[in-house]
Amino acid sequence: MHGNFSEVPEIKVCGICEENTGKKEIPEDESGQLIISKRTAIHCAKIIYNVFLFSLATRKAFALSLFTVGFVICMICNHATMTTINYQADTIDSLARNEPDVMKSVFQMVAWVTVASVMRELYSLCFTLFINHTLHNISTALFYNTIYTISPISSVRINRIIDRGNRGIQNMLINILVKILYGVTSIVIIYKNLMEMDLRYVCVITGFNIIYLGVSFVLLKIRIRNKTLMNKYDDLYSNSIIECLANKESVVVNNTERQEISTFDQHLTRFLKISFSDRTVVAALNVFQKFIYTLLHITLMVYVYMYGENKLNDAVKIMFYLKRLDRNLMNVAIATKTVFVRYVDCEIYIEYIHKLSKHMEPPVVQVSKSPLPSLNEIGQSNSQLEYKYNNTDQIDSENSTTHINRTHTEDITECSSIPGTKKIPKRKVAVEFKNVSYWPENSCKELIKDFSCRIFEGEKVCLIGKSGSGKTTLLSLLLKQKPYTGIIEVYGVDIREMTKDNITEKIGIVPQESALFNNTLIYNTEYGSVPNQANLSNILEDTAVNEIVESKKNGYDYIVGVAGRNLSGGEKQRICLARCLLRDTGIIILDEATSKLDCLTENKIISSLCNQNRTVIIITHSPLIAELMERIIIINSENN
């Protein structure tokens, strides 16, 4: 169902969207005003077109039928309204002439008023269903892409996009379907009736309307610019609050309170100034539009008085037509302004969905089985690899722990078995990297270059290295979250032939950040698994989560808060460890997942893992944990 969601044509956002979660600086001119890219009616039409594409993404026949029925009812409603005006004029004329059939005109007028009212409500309901269907599709598309994207997501950023985007799309579609469509069809029917009365009426009204629309268009462009600026400064001053609250300690210890207050005040002041300027434009637009139609009324009444054949009937019809025309043009102008203003929010929404869709999980592909050189061949051919030991005492044969510091003539980050050390029995390979390289975006060099490594089933391995050397990046590559060259295999299967679900069914990962939902302890512990009671009790004891449960008043039903803020860092890590173990995967990877635990608890958990028949890979900076592992792999990218 969601395949169509990621196929929306790409839209360039003219500097509005952030790249990843960062905020792009907005260029300013010499006067300090922001430079805003020009937004044309054609560009707005493209955004509207893409919004309607989402309407047809699912249940296309349902969406088309709603739109068609709504449009037909809208036409009937307008016809009924114009017919009502004609009967009103006839009724007034009949009363003035004291004609006997005046009551007939009254009853006909009432009947058509009733028809128009019923039709107006019916087409509003049809278009409301159509709008709800569109919002459902586009919101589902964003949520789907957010869940499955491999790009980092900012919750603050996406919350603002959803809030503005949903309101923007709903408001835009209401204005297009309920106001603009109704207003335009009504204007067409009014012009048709005026042409039947006197072509000169049409010429006079058209002349005034050209002036009306021209000035409205100029002021509308100013409002679009103001809306873009207001969005930017709204983001800036809101983010100032969020950033300061998130980094309050840094602000206090660095004595930058005045600096932050000044920055916040600057952004808020600009936002309020632009908001007031926008309100001034609205006031000027309203006054001008009323003035134009007042002048038009006077002009036409003078013409009817001087040249009209059926003066009373024509005067009444023209008064009603102009009143309706004024209202419709006002509604169309306001609705058009709203569309042009709101499409800025819709543009960001659609662009964000498109940007996420470009960073989805790579598709499963069939990989050719041409073998790469083995690790021994790499180490032996052309003397490519040279190992240097800092200290022979660093090799602890009792614990089968090897500390490696090596260089490479072609700057390859590599690990392998070392000649002369304890030989590892032949076992099934659980995870293997073959000549894997990774070049980060916006980086001047490769982070990982020709990395090769085998980790055997049941082996307990420790990955250590300097911060930024690529340890965590290897996990991202393993989960197909970043593009790479080379081969990565899990139990002998190339991960390019596996989906992300296939990989995570075999590998349990505890990341650096302890991600918890605003729910109960037991919900967060059992998330992603359906454990039996015996297994749950054992794992809760092994990870010391039972101590957390016993210390809380509500026990398992204790609410951990947003992002687990009601728990300490160590408690959050224990819950994430228990969650991973409950999934009962053959491979477990801990990415500094015990860094906030006390030594006794950490040693207890790691020792328990080492005694299990699982492949355990631990990324850590702790020498105590490293000593418990069978093998140590040092990741070193200094020479890359």
Q: How far is CA 363 from CA 75, 434, 498, 608, in A?
A: 48, 20, 9, 37
Contact at 8 Å (CB) between 345 and 224?
no
Segment (H or E) for 141 = helix 102-148
Q: What is the pLDDT of residue 154?
A: 62
CB atoms within 10 A of CB 101: 9
Q: Which residues contact 245 (CB under 8 A, 6 or more apart)?
A: none
- Supply the DSSP symbol for 256: -
3-class secondary structure per residue, 38-101: CCCHHHHHHHHHHHHHHHCCCCHHHHHHHHHHHHHHHHHHHHHHHHHHHHHHHHHHHHHHCCCC
Q: What is the pLDDT of residue 156?
A: 62
Q: What is the pLDDT of residue 364?
A: 60
| Six-digit token string for 72 | 């037909």
Q: What's the rounded Cα separation, in Å, for the pair 568 and 247? A: 18
Q: What's the rounded Cα separation, in Å, for the pair 321 and 327? A: 10
Which of 438, 584, 601, 388 is closest to 504 using CA atoms?
A: 584
Q: What's the rounded Cα separation, in Å, for the pair 526 and 128? A: 40
Helices (H) and strands (E) in the chain, counts: 18, 11
Contact at 8 Å (CB) between 311 and 260?
no
Contact at 8 Å (CB) between 562 and 572?
no
Contact at 8 Å (CB) between 590 and 615?
no
Q: What's the rounded Cα separation, in Å, for the pair 581 and 605? A: 11
Q: What is the pLDDT of residue 151?
A: 64
Q: What is the pLDDT of residue 33?
A: 38
Q: Per-10-residue mean pLDDT for the chain, 640 residues long?
A: 43 37 38 43 81 88 92 91 82 73 80 89 91 89 78 67 81 89 88 82 83 81 81 83 78 78 87 88 83 80 69 76 81 80 77 75 57 41 30 33 33 40 64 86 79 87 83 84 86 85 85 83 83 80 84 84 83 87 86 82 84 87 83 71
Q: What is the pLDDT of residue 40?
A: 65
Q: What's the rounded Cα separation, in Å, for the pair 272 and 234? A: 9
Q: What's the rounded Cα separation, in Å, for the pair 447 and 465? A: 13
Q: What is the pLDDT of residue 28?
A: 41
Beta pairing partners, 223: none
Q: What's the rounded Cα separation, in Å, for the pair 503 and 490? A: 8
Q: How far is CA 408 from CA 298, 382, 415, in A?
A: 91, 12, 11
One-letter amino acid identity for 278?
A: D
Q: What's the rounded Cα separation, in Å, for the pair 546 and 540? A: 5
Q: Which residue has the tokens 């951990």?
A: 560
Contact at 8 Å (CB) between 178 and 124?
yes
| Six-digit token string for 162 | 């959803």
Q: What is the pLDDT of residue 70?
A: 92
